[in-house]
Structure 1
Amino acid sequence: MGSFNRAPDSKETAPLTGSPSWDLPAEIWLQVLRYLLVKRPEQQHGNALVVLQPLSDWTGQDSSNNRLSSQVLRTNRAFYQAGIELLYRENVFEMNGDDVWVLPNFLSRIGPNIARIRHLRLDHRNAGHEDCRGAPHRHPQEIVYVSGWIRDLWVDRLFECFPTLRSLETLSIAVDLPSRKMRDSVARMETGLYVKESGLAHELCVAKQMQDRVLWNELHGQVLFYINKLGIWRAANSLDQWFPKLNANVYHGVGEHGAYGIFSTKELEISSSAQKQRTAAHFLTARRLQVDFAEGKVSHWNRDLPFSNTTSGPLAFSPPKYPSPWASGSGEWADAYARARDFVSQLTLLEKVNLTTGVGYLRLPLALAQTVVLNAMYLPGKADYVSAFPAGVNVAATWSRGLAYARGEAMGVEHRGKGVDVQLGPVCGPLGRIPEGGRNWEGFSPDPYLTGALIDPTIRGIQDAGVIACTKHYIGNEQERFRQAPEARGYGFNITESLSSNIDDKTMHELYLWPFADAVRAGTGAIMCSYNQINNSYGCQNSYSLNYLLKNELDFQGFVMSDWQAQHSGVGDILAGLDMSMPGDTTFLTGLSFWGTNLTIAVANGTVPEWRLDDACVRIMSAFYLVGRDTTQVPINFDSWTKNTFAPIHIAVESPIGLVNEHVDVREDHAGLIREIGRASTVLLKNSNNALPLSGNERQVAVFGEDAGSNAYGANGCPDRGCNNGTLAMGWGSGTADFPYLITPEQAIQNYVVTQTTGIIEVVTAQGAVTQIQSRAAQADLALVFVNADSGEGYISVDGNEGDRKNLTLWKQGDDLIQNVSALCNNTIVVMHTVGPVLVSDWYNNDNVTAILWAGLPGQESGNAILDVLYGHYNPGGKLPFTFGPTRESYGTDLLLEPNNGQFGAPQDDFDEGVFIDYRAFDRMNITPIYEFGFGLSYTTFEYSDLVVTPQNAGPYVPTSGTTSPAPSLGNNASTDYSQYLFPNGTIDRVSNYIYPYLNSTDPAAASADPEYGLPTSEYVPAGATEGTPQPLLPAGGAPGGNPGLWDILYTVSATIRNTGSLQGDEVAQLYVSLGGDEPAVVLRGFDRLTIVSGASATFTAQLTRRDLSTWDTVSQNWAPAPGPVTVYVGSSSRNLPLSSTLPSY
């Protein structure tokens, strides 16, 4: 419910079995409509009709009134007449459908009552022939937004039928405009009419048929409040006549998001190339601001967001939240904060700017005179003598907090040894909303609890090793396609803005923000903001997500770092909460920066208050001291762009040759840990007739599949792993590392068979060698088939997979390989190295496929890890961190594949499924998965018993209140004498394209290189952004991670797990909770991996916190007790829960 511009091809879940038919008689549809209105369920999804939950008094209406949303309300005239009458009688005041066709003669019935219609189409055959003025106003709601075409309707009729209309998706008005009536009608409007797109704007604005130019000059500022895309076809040379106030009083802003008149267009298309028109177009688009609501006394309908007196346009909206909260040193940050304040108080303005601005792409830091700089901000992925660890998704499959900590600590040790200050990880964005998501494997799981429970020890491990963890990507970065407009254009998509992830308030808190709260509570020193937009505001300048959610509600004390090239403004970013610009340049190797010189000027001239820059520096240095970098820091000893010992000191520019790589080996004994995580994360999905473990007595062993072997180009033969050749042990993109070596399954298995058994082995890795495959399979006692599916970051395309996967099938005809081999060998074992779920429906229940294992992306010890599991050296205990569904459609979420917001607008990705992703969606839709979330077999068996739920004596939940202290003043106020900031020629050498804090001129306009320098600050400094007085605290805030009361323990849950088999094994006991109401059927709220010897028992214990048993209340902006009744379940997977108990009220 965060966006009200759902894509035309969006799907609702059908309430009835089977495909809907639109040929049913009208009386049948009427019965359905009447049923829904009478029953008034909280929510019913359907291709025909949807009734959303009753509204509270946020509209000023009685809470019994309904909002009616219809995906398709389009059958026949009889249904229209009866249906509209019924809507009228039942007081339905909102139609929120994707396609609502209404004849004009029904406007008298729906017009005064319907508050909002998403897509309204008026039958032009009868347009303008009915009078709406006589309609009774029993519920005089404002009709503020119509999304769809209003075609050939006289304007006076438009305003008579919809007297309070504010926003219109697309308008086409007959050329014979009744001008005087139009003027009289719009005179009643307080703010004007929002038109998103006018495909026939030439008829509206500059048509030859329109004679009353005086009228238009008088009205255009009222009628056209905001045009997203305006096409002027005729009389383009009269732009100054048609928009006489364009650069005058009509063209002015009221803060970041508000405006009067024509304030902003995303694209103004003008056919003429006259200089005047091009100048006007530039003036309109240069601000890079989006006007996404109209100001005035009009109702708002986004009840999920706590703002008022505004009305959103058709796109999702992110409300402005200023000023940026300043760090306070709360919790474990107190000592680090005090040291940081003391340090920053001694810095000059130039030093502070240098600390917050990266030095540019492909650069090593320089030792600038009297400046401070952190050593390195990048992952040493391309360095040598480093380890290639298992992916985050494999850590999730271990369900082991201990292994998560050990991996984090080992990675931190290696970063520290290379001289790196900040590790760009771990990842909890993407969460995994879409199974094809390209970078899902870098994170943990689509379940927020599991991700949060594992990101906590990962961060603690990294930072205990003395390196700052940078948790990423914040927030809503759930697909690669359209994440960056330039990248998308490279793939042939003509867009100018990044995708907008449109997320409602409840979903944001209960899914996507949840693990970031755990990361903040764990003390993460940094958080990286993402490329995408969130509710149509870029992630690195989104004041709501950075200032309001992260720094206020979650009380984040560290610093926010931009993703590389995710910055889109200068002043706007730092005021919205960005603390560090990376890599520093506007685009790679330009030598220009939004910050650097421009930030020096902005602070010196007072545009950015110095306390905001001080706060950014204090946050950076607090993280530095928190992890002990002052005692653990070593000089950088590697170059991320070359493995040569000697190379140019400054890459990509003329530079002297120097020592850039010392080839320091930082791997220590991490190979053993990597092998342990690899085998602990292997999930046994099928094991018919105890096919596994292998005995070692198999006489003829055959291994099939390219995934078993080596990459012919070498393990590191494809830059950033940008290919899928040989065994898959890591996805592709910037989150990868070069392998120091890679043990393939072929190598490990062949060595074992030859040295430890009396059998023989043959390997066929060429999947197209059908004859050889069939011959070897027919002779084999055992066939091991290795298959895979890959994905990665969006800047690389592999086999047409542009980061995200094109589908959920196995790569390189893996399904055919399995079926060919299993047709000839009745003991076929399948091993899957995949980045996430794949479709296995065609072969998983084949009797000849006796065992199936998911091995993920296990890193450099891949072959050894799977060998240990296959031959019983290790009893598998991994569990799925996601769901294997029967079909792609069963997941309920889709990639956005095509731009859906006009030719140039930001693609709109509406998270309409809310909190129902992965297993929650399968439960809600009652779809049986192939292998459910949390599923995994063992070579032994376990039995669950003795569930005990014990209430704890937690106190009441107390919402946080009060205010902050004023913004701290650290002294060293910036001078307005620009000569103090000039480049120190003669002291240091200037390096080409390097980003400096210095000015090259005492004229700030010349030094800035910003064509918009000199505009009034009211144009780009939001209201309240520079205010340093005490600010109110949020009820859900108060400490890192949120209100401390959220972690009060309300119940302790325990159960007995007994190993009933003959082998020692690991069992992951899982605790789920049903929260009642319209919440998911169950949600994960606890787990533990227990090692139990044969015949013995162990006690599983978990604690349920207040947060675990709460849901987000969008009205109070706080966590509230779940609707209940609340039931706890304990078992071995999300669908195998033998123990349960209903909690008493709390």
Structure 2
Amino acid sequence: MDIKKMIQDMTLAEKASLCSGADFWHTETIDRIGLKAIMVSDGPYGLRKQEEIINNMGWAKSILAVGFPTAASLANSFDRDLVHEVGNALGDECQAEDVAVLLGPGINMKRSPLGGRNFEYYSEDPYLAGEIGAAFVNGVQEKNIGTSLKHFAANNQETRRMNASSEVDERTLREIYLTAFERVVKKAQPWTIMCSYNRINGCYSCENDWLLNKVLREEWGFQGLVMTDWGAMNDRVKSLNAGLDLEMPDCHGETDKLIIKAVQEGTVSMKTLDRTVERILTAVDRYYFNKKENASYDMEAHHQLARKVADNSAVLLKNDGILPLKESQKVAIIGEFAETPRTQGGGSSHINCFRIESALDALRDNPNITYKKGYIAEKDEVDETLLSEAVAAAKEAEVAVIFAGLPDSFESEGFDRTHLNMPESQNTLIHEICKVQPNTVVVLHNGSPILMPWLSEVKGVLDLYLAGQAAGAAAVDLLYGKANPSGKLAETYPLRMEDHPAFLNFPGTHNEVHYQEGIFIGYRYYDKRKMDVLFPFGYGLSYTSFRYSNAKLIVNGQSVSSSSTSAANGQNTSMDVIPSIPAKPDDTIQVSVDITNTGDIAGREVVQLYVKNAACEEIRPEQELKNFAKVALEPGETKTILLDLDARSFSYYSMQIHDWYAPSGDYELLISASSRDVRQRLTLHLENDKKLPFYVEEMSSCDDVYNYANDPSPLDTMLAKSGFTDTSGGENDSMGAGTAQMMRAMFADTPLHSILSFSSDKLTWKDIQDTIRAINEKQP
């Protein structure tokens, strides 16, 4: 396709028509010039392709497809390669169904555990979300299928999502809510990005020039097209100028007229319109140029992949020696989710799974199993008959395994949660069974954190999250040790709903939600406040144990070895801090550590690397995840893991320079099994030759001058002349023993212009101005 010539040959009306969909799922065709349409389809953890006949709301039956574990589950795997494999599989399915763009992944931050759509997002941590998202996008796009990274940006709730304004400062936007998008754009270049419904600081995302043109395209180098979420268009002319290309779904020709009029009147330039048309044509050409004809895929093979992903994403939260179970044990399986598992969330991502494999399906050949329903999933009220039957079965068994969690009505696209509780019918069931059966295990189906008032009563908890169509088979794999749990939590479980950082400002009022917690969401908040949590970020148990040892910091090939040792159970008995070695932000910085499987069975461990900069004068988190790796180990096997760091790993977003800045100082590198389980420590001393600009003003304090000025000596001269630095009260001191300390503090915080007031007649206003001028002249 000669795109440049095609644009030259198109009429203004044809160009305008191309800027919106032909219907709910297709771009426009232009028969006169031979332009075909491409189809887009919902995802992102399965293909929700709608049958061709739909109504005005886009409702139609979806084709049969494979339902993979949801995004929340995928992130718990901490496994880039596995997520990439899922992306490949979905790319194959899109090829077979002639879908050019899969509408996903969603990488919005989990600002609050109450977010109704959290199951469709990866994490509370932007680095993890960005890495998992990039792996997914690369996996799909390797198959010549586009993705649509969504929802851009600061779309962190369902309540009033179409008109609420996310009121958030730039540093918080950059460090928390834009970082994951930035990582995916730079590492994977998605074909498209989907704008969110909401406003950001009063401006709709779809018409936000700063967001779409300056940040996304100019700073990050995004090359693809930007589309609306369905029905998110507000002002078509503004959005076109702001860099929004494709309106979805079709506009019935109404906004085409606005574009034509705007071009004719000069409020939109032809150059701007041509650029938008070029991006849309590029996506169409890209798909058809490399389209695989007569493509197909193996549904059963993808089902087995979904099972493998679920095996590797489930998180073992508690195990008091109860798991894995033995085939010979008499087990009471209890709970409706054992028969009808909750495999996915509700809304636009809901997949018409070609097969759903329940735990009872997977256990059908085991003669030692009994099953009782125990509760009705969608009912909060206790069914006394079902409860008594379940308790009786549990009492007669050696072990009770309760399948529980959140029903569809508790979390979905379109509404947020109002609490973190499971249905009371399920909580009561667990309490009552624990009274008669001490060997009780709970298997959870939930898309986001829950409270567990029964946690101390049970011996085991296995959290599947929403694990896709093979969830039941995976649960049995894990319960009986055919698979070893290796998932880690991609979000924190709080002890109480009221503990979460956005509690006072979620979901906001009067169409505004104020992100007053700033950069402190998830573990950043809990760690900074040193709060107890139910389960920390990055936490997850295994049926084996791992030892961390021989940590090394490698800077441009130079390494320093760790002397810390680990006990046989994998926990450190000492953690000696390594003497720091110097490095510059642009140096090649790596951390290596040996991981040993000290148990009797094969297992996989997620090694997490956090960076801590305690000395920085800017308010920063206690620690931030900056790399991770998942390693598979046979019993007794040791592998060396190498983790890279870059300048961004040490940086915060400085509002002074509106850019990322890594301050000089000591940084702790924490090699951990979770955010609260540090196994090895290293220390790096970073030397950054770049200094933040500092220009002295009349209101600059003496302390600021001494801390930030390139040469503060002119201030020394002026202070010596003024006598202001005399902190002794002398014999006339009537302010008590703390006079000297008080005076030193006052001196540090005093603005330069105020020194005149304390200098008697020794200084003039000209002395103040000359001093300021002399200091600024010596600034770089």
Match of 1:823, SS state, is: helix
C-alpha separation in 2, matches of 1:1048 and 1:583: 45
C-alpha separation in 1, matches of 2:370 and 2:351: 32
State whether structure 2 residue 276 is matched by structure 1 residue 616: yes
Q: Following superposition of structure 1 onto structure 2, how do residues 69-108 of structure 1 map, counting pairs within 5 Å?
A: none
- Displacement of 1:817 after TM fit? 1.6
- Displacement of 1:924 after TM fit? 1.2
Q: Which has the higher helix share?
A: 2
1:753 partner letter: N
State whether structure 2 residue 153 is matched by structure 1 residue 542: no
Distance 1:341 1:1047, change over 3 A: farther
Aligned to 1:516: 181
1:670 to 282, 294, 302: 302
Q: Following superposition of structure 1 onto structure 2, how do residues 429-468 of structure 1 map, counting pairs within 5 Å?
A: 429=108, 431-468=109-146
Distance 1:736 1:1048, change over 3 A: farther
State whether structure 2 residue 169 is matched by structure 1 residue 555: no
1:779 partner letter: E
Aligned to 1:708: 338
Distance 1:899 1:392, change over 3 A: closer
State whether structure 2 residue 554 is matched by structure 1 residue 945: no
2:177 partner letter: Y
Query: Does the aligned pair in 2 maintain the 1:418–1:666 contact within 8 Å?
Result: no
Aligned to 1:606: 266
Query: Does the aligned pair in 2 maintain the 1:355–1:372 contact within 8 Å?
Result: no
Match of 1:1143, SS state, is: strand
Aligned to 1:1074: 612
Match of 2:184, SS state, is: helix
Distance 1:518 1:1048, change over 3 A: farther
1:1065 partner letter: G
Distance 1:460 1:1093, change over 3 A: same
1:732 partner letter: G
Aligned to 2:534: 930
1:845 to 433, 453, 456: 456
Aligned to 2:500: 891
Match of 1:731, SS state, is: coil
C-alpha separation in 1, matches of 2:534 and 2:650: 29
C-alpha separation in 2, matches of 1:1062 and 1:942: 11
- Displacement of 1:692 after TM fit? 0.8
- Displacement of 1:818 after TM fit? 1.2
Aligned to 1:427: 106
Distance 1:865 1:893, change over 3 A: same
C-alpha separation in 1, matches of 2:125 and 2:508: 28
Q: Following superposition of structure 1 onto structure 2, how do residues 616-695 of structure 1 map, counting pairs within 5 Å?
A: 616-624=276-284, 628-632=287-291, 667=299, 669-688=301-320, 690-695=321-326
Aligned to 1:414: 93
- Displacement of 1:1071 after TM fit? 0.4
C-alpha separation in 1, matches of 2:217 and 2:662: 24
C-alpha separation in 1, matches of 2:26 and 2:94: 18
CA deviations 1:622-657 (Å, max 9, x no partner) are: 44455x54221669x9xxxxxxxxxxxxxxxxxxxx
Structure 1: state its 5+ residue gaps.
Answer: 1-337, 485-497, 586-590, 638-663, 711-726, 792-796, 902-906, 955-1045
Distance 1:835 1:895, change over 3 A: farther
Aligned to 2:776: none
Match of 1:1126, SS state, is: strand
1:740 to 334, 354, 361: 354
Query: Does the aligned pair in 2 maintain the 1:393–1:444 contact within 8 Å?
Result: yes
- Displacement of 1:606 after TM fit? 2.8
Distance 1:853 1:899, change over 3 A: closer
- Displacement of 1:1135 after TM fit? 0.6
CA deviations 1:176-210 (Å, max 9, x no partner) are: xxxxxxxxxxxxxxxxxxxxxxxxxxxxxxxxxxx
- Displacement of 1:617 after TM fit? 2.0
Aligned to 2:592: 1054
Match of 1:507, SS state, is: helix
Distance 1:631 1:362, change over 3 A: closer
Distance 1:748 1:549, change over 3 A: same
- Displacement of 1:1124 after TM fit? 4.1
Aligned to 2:464: 855
Q: Following superposition of structure 1 onto structure 2, how do residues 11-26 of structure 1 map, counting pairs within 5 Å?
A: none
- Displacement of 1:616 after TM fit? 1.2
- Displacement of 1:584 after TM fit? 2.7
1:770 partner letter: L
Aligned to 1:233: none
TM-score (normalised: structure 1): 0.53
- Judge which range, 374-383 or 1102-1111, deviates more: 374-383
C-alpha separation in 1, matches of 2:355 and 2:521: 37
Match of 1:914, SS state, is: coil
CA deviations 1:590-632 (Å, max 9, x no partner) are: x3532x2322332244331111111112223344455x54221
1:577 partner letter: G
C-alpha separation in 2, matches of 1:1063 and 1:363: 51
TM-score (normalised: structure 2): 0.78
Aligned to 2:168: 503
Aligned to 1:374: 37
Q: Following superposition of structure 1 onto structure 2, how do residues 322-401 of structure 1 map, counting pairs within 5 Å?
A: 340-341=3-4, 343-361=6-24, 368-370=31-33, 372-379=35-42, 380-381=47-48, 382=50, 383-401=62-80
Distance 1:463 1:1049, change over 3 A: farther
Aligned to 1:1095: 636
- Displacement of 1:451 after TM fit? 0.5
- Displacement of 1:458 after TM fit? 0.7
- Displacement of 1:765 after TM fit? 4.3
Match of 1:859, SS state, is: coil
Aligned to 1:1140: 681
- Displacement of 1:812 after TM fit? 5.2
2:406 to 789, 792, 813: 789
1:1120 partner letter: Y
C-alpha separation in 2, matches of 1:859 and 1:571: 41
Distance 1:537 1:950, change over 3 A: same
Aligned to 1:531: 197
2:602 to 1041, 1064, 1068: 1064
- Displacement of 1:1117 after TM fit? 1.4
1:1063 partner letter: I
Q: Following superposition of structure 1 onto structure 2, how do residues 161-180 of structure 1 map, counting pairs within 5 Å?
A: none
Distance 1:946 1:629, change over 3 A: farther
C-alpha separation in 2, matches of 1:1122 and 1:829: 48
Match of 1:856, SS state, is: coil
Q: Following superposition of structure 1 onto structure 2, how do residues 992-1011 of structure 1 map, counting pairs within 5 Å?
A: none
- Judge which range, 613-622 or 916-925, deviates more: 613-622
Match of 2:666, SS state, is: coil
State whether structure 2 residue 505 is matched by structure 1 residue 826: no
Match of 1:736, SS state, is: coil
Match of 1:470, SS state, is: strand
C-alpha separation in 2, matches of 1:817 and 1:340: 64
- Displacement of 1:410 after TM fit? 0.9
1:463 partner letter: Q
2:64 partner letter: Y
Aligned residue-pair number: 634
CA deviations 1:5-56 (Å, max 9, x no partner) are: xxxxxxxxxxxxxxxxxxxxxxxxxxxxxxxxxxxxxxxxxxxxxxxxxxxx
Distance 1:346 1:1100, change over 3 A: farther
State whether structure 2 residue 384 is matched by structure 1 residue 753: no
Distance 1:896 1:1111, change over 3 A: closer
Distance 1:634 1:472, change over 3 A: farther
2:462 partner letter: L
Q: Percent identity?
A: 31
C-alpha separation in 2, matches of 1:800 and 1:616: 34
State whether structure 2 residue 762 is matched by structure 1 residue 1130: no
Distance 1:920 1:752, change over 3 A: farther
Match of 1:621, SS state, is: helix
- Displacement of 1:946 after TM fit? 0.9
Distance 1:947 1:789, change over 3 A: same
Match of 2:632, SS state, is: strand
- Displacement of 1:548 after TM fit? 1.9
Aligned to 1:593: 254
- Displacement of 1:354 after TM fit? 2.9
Query: Does the aligned pair in 2 maintain the 1:473–1:528 contact within 8 Å?
Result: yes
C-alpha RMSD of matched pairs (Å): 2.5
1:632 partner letter: K
| Bigger Cα Rg | 1
